[in-house]
Chains A and B, each alone.
Chain A
Amino acid sequence: MPLGEIPLHTTSWLILVALGGILAVDSVSWPQIMISRPLVSATVGGWIVGSPSAGFLVGALLELMSLRHPPFGAARYPDTGPAGLVAGCAYASVGTDSLGSLVAAILAGWAVGWIGAVSVQLRRRGNERLLTPESELASRPELLEKRHKTAVRLDIFRGALLTAGFLVPAIVAAAWVVDQPESGLATIWGAALLVTALAAAAGAGGRTSSFGIVGWPLLFVGAALGGLIAGIVG
């Protein structure tokens, strides 16, 4: 796709890049009010390009996948703020009637999330250097404050850089998928793949969020209830 045909204005791109920085800093630095969750960031990404519903759908799918990776202890987990923003924006900007673009957006978001996880680790190593030597910081508390704030600013920059680097490629990838001729086989395969992955993510998320609870019948009851509601609503 030629750059001029990418369905994203420069102003929107700038807003999204700035938002990527803010969302990234929320997850580990400040204020940790969970605007960095993919449910929120993808909806915001979709909303900025005109379709919050599309963004929410991508965000909800990424959210279920992320439940398996909580930030327990020193565990590595996806950086979901910029990831959700990129994925929600990519899907919403190329049209919401293509299963392929939905899958492409989710894969792009998941990839950005794990690249972001690596960047978080690199940034943490940088923080260790920033907060040494301890003797100097202890004798000059104002230096401690300054370096702490520098670390937070670097985190904002990291999130903005991540969003700037992957937003346009994700949109191009989703747009390329939309342009491909669709076949019945590809559609049924894609839908089955997505629904199966969704269900597996839900089951794995259940294991992570329910210590010591043997609750598989409850998972099934929930699914049956969902089927009933879906049947009634139509």
Chain B
Amino acid sequence: MIGGGMAFAMLPLLRRIYAGDPVRLSEAVARHLGAFNSHPYLAGLAVGALARAELEGESPERIERFRTALRGPLGTVGDRLIWASWRPACLLIAIAAFGLGLGPIWSVILFLVSYNVGHIVIRIWGFRHGWHEGLGVSKTLHERWLDVVPRLLAPVILLLLGLDAVLLSRQVLDVVAWHGFFAGLALVAAFVALMAFRWPRRTGRIAVALVLSIPLVWLVLAGTSG
């Protein structure tokens, strides 16, 4: 969230706090137009805390220091919790559900509902904590669950990635009504998935080698059987 968005989000609160005092309102808006960055879902934590600080008449210098100190951790914690954990987990569960036979529309609904339950809870939690704790909100970012949830989800995501890669491979082979080579190709998929995870720099070469060699093997086999 850039400064303009932050100031826009705080404007309704600032208007109430500085009602009837356009000069102080203008000064407050100027403070919050400055550079700012955060994960969007945790921005409410900063909005709540900064609005509380404005309400309690904290000095502009202290508010500026607080803004600067908060923006790095809000981005890091949010990226790890949401973009790297919660979102992939919900997406991969929906893809697995489709691979196991759930209809496409229901699979999408499953993703949107499960993801947004977490999304909305985090937004509400962030704003409430920010508002209640004001400039002391930084200790909230050390709460245990913010670290535990990504750690718990990481192995689940890996398991689901392997599962989904193979289930989607089957869907791809269904397109060409081609089931005979499924087991072999699923093994190729699992193998390359492992290689991509374990040795990412070599993955490209291995993938290219496999793609080039499979048709050649097929030609040789076709030649010998004919």
Residues of A within 8 A of B (CB): 32-35, 37, 39-40, 43-44, 46-47, 52-53, 55-57, 60-61, 63-64, 67, 70-73, 96-99, 102, 127, 130-131, 134-135, 137-139, 141, 144-145, 147-148, 151, 184-185, 187-189, 191-211, 213, 215-216, 218-227, 229-231, 233
Contact = CB atoms under 8 A, between A and B. Distances in A.
A198 B194 contact: no
B178 A191 contact: yes
Nearest to B80: A211
B65 to A, nearest CB: 19
Interface residues of B, number: 95
Contacts of B100: 229, 233
Given A56-B98, A64-B164, A191-B172, A209 B88 contact: yes
B99 A226 contact: yes
Contacts, number: 318
B210 A227 contact: no
Nearest to A200: B196
Given A39-B95, A52-B103, 20 more contacts: A32-B119, A39-B91, A40-B112, A57-B168, A67-B91, A96-B175, A127-B4, A138-B26, A145-B8, A195-B169, A195-B185, A195-B186, A196-B207, A203-B196, A210-B84, A219-B193, A219-B197, A227-B166, A230-B186, A233-B100
A202 B79 contact: no
B94 interface: yes
B167 A229 contact: yes
B129 interface: no
Interface in B83-137: 83-85, 87-88, 91, 94-95, 98-101, 103-105, 107-108, 111-112, 115-116, 119
Contacts of B223: none
Contacts of B164: 60, 64, 202, 222, 226
10 contacts: A33-B115, A61-B168, A102-B175, A189-B214, A192-B185, A196-B207, A200-B193, A209-B157, A216-B158, A227-B190
Contact of B33 (A55, A72, A137): A137
